[in-house]
Amino acid sequence: MTDRLQESSKNALSFACKRNHALCIEEALEHAKRVCERAGERFTDLRKQVFAIVWAEHKPVKAYDLLSELSSIRKGVAPATVYRALDFLKSQGLVHKLESLNAYLGCSQPETEHHGHFLICECCEEVRELAFAPFSQSIDEIEKAQKFQIKHTTIELLGRCIKCQ
Amino acid sequence: MTDRLQESSKNALSFACKRNHALCIEEALEHAKRVCERAGERFTDLRKQVFAIVWAEHKPVKAYDLLSELSSIRKGVAPATVYRALDFLKSQGLVHKLESLNAYLGCSQPETEHHGHFLICECCEEVRELAFAPFSQSIDEIEKAQKFQIKHTTIELLGRCIKCQ
DNA sequence: GATCTAATGTTATGTTATAACATATCTTTA
DNA sequence: TAAAGATATGTTATAACATAACATTAGATC
């Protein structure tokens, strides 16, 4: 077993955020483009700009903040413009909505399967998407036991990160 | 092992909702009153009325729907009136907010420890609070592994209930 | 390049939630 | 029991979040 594997095993529950946000914006845009192509969708200028703004912030972004940032690089921007782009990016899994914050976050794990499970620090507002999916099994159990067919999960854990304790 | 226990074991993942909603409103109000007394808080008329309306619906209630219902039995009702009462009831664990719906639900398990984990049917809009807490262990693991101190969880699973499949 | 479809622009409005300050009610205690 | 302090509610205004509806533009297809 290599060091790398050992480390990854030790950190089975570690966040992907840090590593993935090392991805530069160019790589992220490249990836987003590929995702859209694969889906037969267009990665238009608007979508690209919105994606870039959300991605650039490593914190959740409010729709109206996005709107005002977007306005500085583009004209004719109204709420609908932003919400449509966000809806599209969500549909492609490139952006997540944090329901408990009414805010949007660039997906931190573009290349790997991801689950949309978040840790939100109430203090520094940093949000991390869990790389590991500790809830998957529980979710499977619930589906079987309840005969409830789960289509979307909203899992957001609010608390204090290690730096803020 | 009694039949009752066997049944409860078989249904370890079963919902509490149905059983608990058999609680009549009077019992629920009684319980809410006790909760407030224990906390040294006042269960005022306003709070009682808001609680009763939320409880009466077995579905999630929107704040502004609540507002209009409340207006029919009370005057001088404004949004702040409703939101303040809801905040209070949430703080006592008597009502939950469903973040993904922007709606409020009376707690279905007033007498037992509960976790605020929900199954939401996208079709019939029925919402069930999980009696069982399949996520508790995962949450403990995350806290340890990440040294992230969790204070509040938002766990809402959207899908189709057995009736709507 | 005509036609169709998807995306965006534009205007208006709907929905959800809070701020700020005035008034009323409850509790405590002199 | 009246005064003082604390808590709750009334009231007005506005902030924050999101979508509807229809016009226009840009891309894709033939």
Q: Of chain A residues 105-164, which have a beta carbon within 7 Å of strand D?
A: none
Q: What was the pLDDT predicted at A13?
A: 30
- pLDDT, one tens digit per residue, over A14-48 is 333 334 455 688 899 999 999 999 999 999 999 99
As beta bridge partners, residue B150 has A159
Q: What is the mean pLDDT of residues B92-108?
A: 94
> Which residue, among B149, B162, B163, would best test binding to A if mutated, counting the most A CBs under 10 Å from its CB?
B149
The one-letter amino acid at A78: A
CB A84 within 8 A of CB A77: no
Nearest beta carbon to residue A13 from set B146, B153, B157 = B146
Average pLDDT, chain B: 85
Nearest chain B alpha carbon to A157: B153
Kindly list the domain boundaries of chain A, sorted by start residue. Answer: 14-164
pLDDT band at B88 (very low <50, low <70, confident <90, very high): very high
- Token readout for B14 is 């079963």
Percent above pLDDT 70 for chain B:
81
Residues in B lying within 8 Å of A, measured between beta carbons: 11-15, 99-100, 119, 121-122, 130, 134-135, 138-139, 141-143, 145-162, 165
Per-residue pLDDT of chain A (165 residues; tens, 9 = 90+): 333 333 332 232 333 333 445 568 889 999 999 999 999 999 999 999 999 999 998 899 999 999 999 999 999 999 999 999 999 999 999 999 999 999 999 976 666 667 789 999 999 989 999 877 678 888 888 999 989 999 999 999 999 999 999
Q: What was the pLDDT predicted at A132?
A: 73
**Nearest Cα to B54, choosing from B83, B15, B18, B77?**
B83
Measure, in angstroms, how far nucleotide D24 C1' is from residue A76 CA: 13
CA distance B76 to chain A (A): 30
According to CATH, what is the number of the domain B15-164? 1.10.10.10
- pLDDT, one tens digit per residue, over B7-45 is 332 232 333 333 445 568 889 999 999 999 999 999 999
Nearest beta carbon to residue A147 from set B138, B157, B162 = B162
According to CATH, what is the number of the domain A14-164? 1.10.10.10
Q: What is the mean pLDDT of residues B76-81?
A: 97
Percent above pLDDT 90 for chain B:
65
Q: How far apart are CA B97 and CA B153, in angstroms?
A: 11
Q: How far apart are CA B59 and CA B89, in angstroms?
A: 17
Q: What was the pLDDT predicted at B2?
A: 34
Nearest beta carbon to residue A134 from set B121, B138, B149 = B138
